[in-house]
Amino acid sequence: MKRSAPLRRPGDSRLVVLIPYLWLLALFLVPFVIVLKISFSQTVMALPPYRPVLDLAAGWTGLKDFAAHLTTDAYALLGSDDLYLRSYLKSLEVAGLSTALLLAIGYPIAYGIVRSPRALQPLLVMLVVLPFWTSFLIRVYAWMNILQRDGLLNDVLMRLQLIDAPRVWLSTDTAVYIGLVYSYLPFMVLPLYAVLEKLDPALLEAAADLGCTRLRAFWRVTFPLSLPGVAAGVLLCFIPITGEFVIPDLLGGSRTLMIGQTLWTEFFSNRDWPVASAIAVALLALLLVPILFYERLQKRAIGETP
């Protein structure tokens, strides 16, 4: 990329880069290094509740003392107690299944918006985005209203005589899936719409002229060309859902324990900072490949060569 306007003087350019760079280094990268360090520490009853604490004032001996006390206890605990492994697998299962549901529900919506009259499209897109601007917590809470024992869902189902007695909806896996699909739907629809909207209608006309049925044309032409949008939507949903805390905590039961909740409990209830850090490191290791994929897509979407 050539150096171009308006940053022709190297001094300005350096400052523009340096300020956000330093901020991100200090508040995004360095904190991860600290998490990594504490995941190799021991839990103690003190403030801060971990040991060793790096004492830079003590110089070389302080560093040696620090290194001698590092331990892999926290990781050993993660491996030995199957609570952790189960919540990992549960997170992957929930994230995978809900992302598949989101794709199945989001694709027809995005496709429908692209097919609607052009003048109407901005309004429809805004209507899909608008709930995303309202509170995440409120949207989850709205479903607590509906799904509770004497809530609207049971009420309606009983009036329609589909069920005789109130069913338990809240604190089930079903409730978690409903909450996840509801909350993440805009993240799936938007990237799909962005890709579908750019498709050249002439391609479908050509397919029709050559005798392709509409359904076949969709699978042979539209869907393959929309794959970048599918990938973006899937990653935008799958990665945050894997670490999701609020939705399984409020809508799920004790059996839907996801890894984000385990980390939260270790930190806030058990006050075990090294184990919470080890969970964070393991979760990040799991998500590293999808995150790198996402970054590539983002750079390509923004028109940058990776």
- Of 14-73, binders to other proteins (CB under 8 A) are 14, 16-17, 19-21, 23-25, 27-32, 34-35, 38, 48
Give the nearer residue to other proteins in terms of CB position, either 20 or 59.
Answer: 20
Q: State in angstroms the smallest separation of the CB of 272 from other proteins.
A: 12
User: How many CA atoms lie within 13 Å of 306's alpha carbon, on the beta-carbon side?
Assistant: 10
Q: State the Cα–Cα distance between residues 16 and 31, nearest whole angstrom.
A: 23
Q: With CB under 8 A as the contact rule, which of the stretches 64-72, 75-83, 189-197, 216-224 interacts with other proteins? A: 189-197
CB 161 within 8 A of CB 155: no
Out of 61, 115, 159, 305, the only residue in the binding site for other proteins (CB under 8 A) is: 115
Size of the site for other proteins (CB under 8 A): 113
Out of 43, 177, 191, 252, the only residue in the binding site for other proteins (CB under 8 A) is: 191
Residues 153-182 that bind other proteins (CB under 8 A): 155, 182
Q: Which residues pair with 51 in a beta bridge?
A: 42
Out of 103, 142, 212, 231, the only residue in the binding site for other proteins (CB under 8 A) is: 142
> Of 30, 44, 36, 48, which Cα lies nearest the Cα of 283?
36
Could you give phi then psi for residue 43, rounded to 5 degrees? Answer: -80, 130
Q: State the Cα–Cα distance between residues 238 and 97, nearest whole angstrom.
A: 9
Tell me 42's DSSP state: E
Q: With CB under 8 A as the contact rule, which of the stretches 56-64, 74-82, 157-165, 273-281 interacts with other proteins? A: 273-281
Out of 122, 168, 213, 216, the only residue in the binding site for other proteins (CB under 8 A) is: 122
Q: State in angstroms the smallest separation of the CB of 84 from other proteins.
A: 14
Q: Is 301 in the site for other proteins (CB under 8 A)?
A: yes
Q: Is 276 in the site for other proteins (CB under 8 A)?
A: yes
User: How many CA atoms lie within 13 Å of 293's alpha carbon, on the beta-carbon side?
Assistant: 16
Residues 6+ apart with CB under 8 A from 257: 83, 86, 87, 90, 248
